Structure 1
Amino acid sequence: MKRIAQLLLTKAHRRLCSSPSMHPLPKVPELLIFDFDGTIADTFQNGLDILNELAPEFGYRPLFGDDVEAARNMTTRQLMRFLGISLSRLPAISFRGVKLLHSRMHRIHPISGIPAVLHKLRESGFSMGILTSNSEENVTAFLRRHHLEIFSFIRSSSRLFGKAHEINTILRSYSLAPQKVIFIGDETRDIEAAHRSKVPIVAVGWGYNTSEALRAQKPQALVEHPSDLLTLLLEG
């Protein structure tokens, strides 16, 4: 289950975070892999509500008030320590969270501006897929409801820190070199997974983690508004 939801435009706010040890963004990527919650779908408030609903059952600390914004500046592991969630409890919490979210998917809307950007990228010839910690069933229902059935695949990772493995599986399945792919996500753990898989990543500042937290993890690029993706990917 994910964690916490923001925006603004212009190239001045786009941060390129290249490092000699990291591959630059490919000029013509062969595949764009999108995270779902917080990147495409605005699940922040519903996710937060579910997190707090499950707190008494699983014995961890709920998030209220100023703690919510503080949490957005933490990495996923820091947040787990802050809440008192152990790794051994994560699978059960995630399973229950996804099930609860399923009954609320009709309330979930796309991030403002993202549908037009996704359609433009598809019209421009980009191949796109989704890698998510949510369920394939939830994502499929959302895409159908919002006329966003434009992705080549939806791959669900049941493990909170399992995205690197799934990225590698996608690369093998499509016979792609890591340097030819871009991952697009809103959490520090997305950046961590991309780095482990040697796939360039564009972090987005409108989702669960703040731009400051994302920048500290050194993505290849950071964008603040969905339309910045078009500037970055179509204009270079």
Structure 2
Amino acid sequence: MKKYKLVLFDFDGTLADSIPWLVKAINGVAEKYKFRQLTPKEFTELRGQNPREVMKYMQVAWWKVPLIARHMRQLAAQNIRHIQLFDGMELILAQLDAADVRLGVVSSNSEENVRHVLGDALANVVEFYECSVPIFRKRARFERIVRKANLEREKILCVGDEIRDAEAAKQAQLAFGAVGWGMSRIQDFAPYAPREVFFQVSDIATRLID
């Protein structure tokens, strides 16, 4: 019997290797919206913090957050050729689909950007898309999918690379799987007691497919 019947993936830093692009783009966005620019050392130190702590450190005004998020989605669309799936991720998604595991993507990025990076074949095997998600609204999008999927919560796994992913899954009473190749490090997730831990992409198939 499958451990999970539905897996909800974050996109940036989980499915897609977009962190290098983000590192290059963030200070230009900071200059445009007048918040604190980061050195490479500062960026690394902030990777394990939750969004509120990051915003406080970077001196981002709350009212600017929707504007910044929209601008980041536009920048991602303009630079989409530089954003690819992590090596091996295409195979993992295909294997999950072949094993009758339902798939979803919940992301602050746009659905258009997500579908472009996935490609037509993979985009069509994803059943649920909740995209352009506001920074603190991921729990609500998880809840929406729970209602649509008509599954018991223990049969749903949320997979992500950021502290806010773990927080949202916990708030929605859903199991969380932490990945070790994105924004936060595996040890940063310890306070959230992730149900699953994936140190490398291939671990997803090993852990989730019978």
Which band: TM-score by shorter chain? over 0.9
Aligned length: 209
1:49-107 residue CA offsets vs partner (Å, 9 max, x unmatched): 22211111211111222112111122222111111113222111101111111111111
Partner of 2:20: 45
1:158-214 residue CA offsets vs partner (Å, 9 max, x unmatched): 311111000101111122222221111111000000000001011111111111212
Do the aligned partners of 1:50 and 1:101 also contact (CA within 8 Å) in 2? Answer: no
Larger helix fraction of residues = 2
Partner of 1:211: 186
Letter in 1 for 2:17: D
CA-atom RMSD, angstroms? 1.6
For residue 168 of structure 2, the aligned residue among 174, 177, 193 is: 193
For residue 202 of structure 2, the aligned residue among 192, 206, 227 is: 227
Partner of 1:112: 87
Partner of 1:174: 149
Alignment pair present for 1:148 and 2:161: no
Partner of 1:62: 37
Alignment pair present for 1:161 and 2:136: yes
- SS of 2:143's equivalent in the other structure is helix
Q: What TM-score results when the alignment is normalised by the length of structure 1?
A: 0.83
- Provide the rounded CA distance (Å) in 2 between the counterparts of 1:70 and 1:217: 19
Letter in 2 for 1:54: V
Letter in 2 for 1:75: N
> Runs of 5+ in structure 2 lacking a partner?
none
- SS of 1:69's equivalent in the other structure is helix
* Structure number with higher relative contact order (C-alpha < 8 Å, ≥ 6 residues apart): 1
Do the aligned partners of 1:191 and 1:219 also contact (CA within 8 Å) in 2? Answer: yes
> Runs of 5+ in structure 1 lacking a partner?
1-25
Q: What TM-score results when the alignment is normalised by the length of structure 2?
A: 0.93
